[in-house]
């Protein structure tokens, strides 16, 4: 079924029919399409552009279509080109001529721009809720493991001691920024393009503000060409989703490492791991790996949108129909990842002793040892050099700094006293890193509470 009649003498070649259609992937916007039409029709009625009688018929007809789609009585069968055509044709079938008046002062160009904004606006809300749930799990776990000492890494080499809660909170910070980005993007998205019509507005006396208000939108678009051509909001969302995937992917990578036998810092719950078909001993972190892998899809979707849009002259071009599958896939993928990732994290078992053991090797308290000398008056560079010599001596003797005899310390620098052992104990090392944002348990506790609190304010 097509909307253009009159000028055309032939049907669309069946070989291009499917190629041209978007109904198979835009039908998910049926509710937004109907909500937009309800608001548009109500305004047309109030402005006297259509009669009250027609307005009422259109409203009842649209509501019955919505009802039938949701009850399953009306399915998206038939050769309709897109969701807009589907709804309009069904409406006209149900209410006759009045249905044909709905499209007065409107084009599918501003209609699709509106539908996509409304659809993604709802998804933004879902995404924010899901991100908040993940942050909540992170904050709870951070509190629980605020004093679980583990090695902090740079270059994936043991560097300085931190606590597990601190590592988790780092991801909490990223996710809070992600929530901010989604909310910010929603603001620019929540602008009503209706009234732009095909590209050049309309001669009808519309009340655009009233339509925007009825749809709980924050304003109207300022330029009719931009109103139908803008897909920044979809690209912005995809970019924010890409960053979420960067964060989930890095987190997944760490979970995969931490749960390997080499680290054994955590163990994934059986319900969130899979086995091997041949190796009976295997317990694989498939969920985390899939999240890491699916980041590629979302980056691809982002690139698709950028590429589709970059060369288009104003205003609407059919290329823009390609926006939907990409942005829907990005949203679906991130939501699926969050739905699996959050309970996976929530159900991990943490092996504090293994973290502690890993933290004891690798001289990760060497900086603290140097700082001890600094506290005794040595300039940092000299303290650094002396500690380097100590580490070399430890390697020679196959001991670590905690077990190296004080006589060896004194040989390298006479400023060392027995107090050095207390100063370099891992607990002291983390407890003293109580600088704002540091890994000291006292600070982790504060930051976890702050994270939880910020979830209420967001
Ligand atoms: N299905 C189209 C899309 O998604 C709707 C807009 C069609 N407009 C047009 N002039 N062909 O972009």
User: Which of the listed residues 82, 231, 322 should we mutate to test ligand 1's pocket, taking the one with most ligand atoms within 8 A of CB?
Assistant: 82
**From CA 72, how far away is CA 85, in angstroms rounded?**
19
**From CA 121, how far away is CA 127, in angstroms rounded?**
10
Residues 288-323 as b/e (b if ≥16 CB within 10 A, e otherwise) read bbebbebbebbbbbbebbeebbeeeeebbeeebbbb
Residue 170 has pLDDT above 90, yes or no: yes
Which residues belong to the active site? Answer: 155, 276
Mean pLDDT, all residues of the chain: 96
Alpha carbon of 312 to ligand 1 centroid (Å): 14
**From CA 333, how far away is CA 47, in angstroms rounded?**
43
Task: Please report the pLDDT score of residue 13 as a whole number.
Answer: 87
Residue 436 has pLDDT above 80, yes or no: yes
Q: Bridge partners of 157?
A: 154
- Nearest by Cα to 151 from 371, 342, 366: 366
Report the percentage of the chain scoring pLDDT > 90: 91
**From CA 241, how far away is CA 131, in angstroms rounded?**
11
Residue 417 has pLDDT above 70, yes or no: yes
pTM: 0.94
- Identify the residues whose C-beta falls under 6 Å from ligand 1: 22, 26, 82, 108-109, 112, 316, 318, 320-321
**From CA 272, how far away is CA 269, in angstroms rounded?**
5
Alpha carbon of 74 to ligand 1 centroid (Å): 22
* Rounded alpha-carbon distances, angstroms, from residue 4 to 12, 108, 315: 11, 12, 20
**Average pLDDT rounded to a whole number, residues 431-449:** 96
Helix (H, G, I), strand (E, B) or coil at 120: helix
């Amino acid at each position: 079924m097509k909307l253009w009649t009159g000028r055309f003498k032939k049907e669309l070649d069946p070989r291009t029919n499917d190629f041209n259609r978007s109904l198979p992937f835009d039908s998910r916007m049926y509710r937004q399409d109907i909500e937009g039409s309800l608001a548009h029709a109500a305004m047309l009625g109030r402005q006297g552009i259509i009669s009250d009688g027609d307005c009422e018929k259109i409203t009842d007809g649209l509501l019955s279509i919505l009802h039938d789609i949701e009850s399953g009585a009306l399915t998206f069968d038939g050769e309709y080109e897109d969701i807009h055509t589907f709804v309009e044709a069904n409406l006209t079938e149900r209410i006759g001529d009045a249905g044909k008046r709905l499209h007065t002062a409107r084009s599918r160009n501003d209609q699709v721009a509106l539908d996509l904004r409304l659809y993604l606006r709802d998804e933004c809300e879902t995404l924010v809720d899901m991100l908040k749930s993940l942050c909540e799990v992170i904050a709870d776990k951070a509190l629980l493991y605020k004093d679980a000492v583990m090695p902090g890494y740079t270059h994936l080499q043991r560097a300085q001691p931190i606590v597990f809660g601190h590592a988790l909170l780092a991801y909490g910070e990223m996710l809070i920024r992600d929530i901010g980005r989604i909310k910010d993007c929603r603001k620019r998205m929540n602008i009503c393009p209706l009234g732009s019509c095909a590209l050049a507005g309309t001669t009808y006396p519309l009340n655009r503000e009233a339509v925007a208000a009825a749809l709980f939108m924050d304003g109207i678009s300022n330029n009719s060409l931009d109103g139908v051509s803008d897909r920044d909001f979809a690209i912005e969302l995809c970019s924010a989703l890409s960053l979420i995937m960067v964060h989930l992917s890095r987190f997944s990578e760490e979970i995969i490492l931490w749960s390997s036998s080499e680290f054994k810092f955590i163990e994934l719950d059986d319900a969130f791991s899979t086995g091997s078909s041949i190796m009976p001993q295997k317990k694989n972190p498939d969920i985390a790996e899939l999240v890491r892998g699916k980041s590629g899809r979302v980056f691809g979707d982002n690139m698709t949108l950028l590429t589709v849009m970059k060369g288009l002259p104003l205003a609407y071009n059919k290329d823009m129909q390609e926006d939907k599958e990409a942005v829907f896939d990005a949203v679906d993928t991130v939501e699926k990842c969050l739905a699996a990732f959050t309970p996976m994290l929530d159900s991990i078992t943490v092996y504090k002793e293994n973290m502690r053991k890993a933290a004891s090797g690798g001289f990760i308290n060497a900086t603290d040892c140097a700082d001890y000398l600094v506290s005794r008056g040595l300039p940092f560079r000299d303290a650094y050099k002396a500690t380097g010599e100590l580490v070399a001596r430890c390697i020679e003797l196959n001991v670590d700094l905690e077990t190296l005899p004080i006589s060896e310390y004194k040989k390298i620098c006479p400023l060392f006293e027995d107090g050095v052992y207390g100063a370099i104990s891992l607990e002291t090392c983390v407890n003293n890193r109580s600088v704002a944002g540091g890994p000291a348990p006292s600070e982790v506790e504060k930051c976890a509470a702050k994270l939880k609190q910020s979830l209420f304010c967001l």
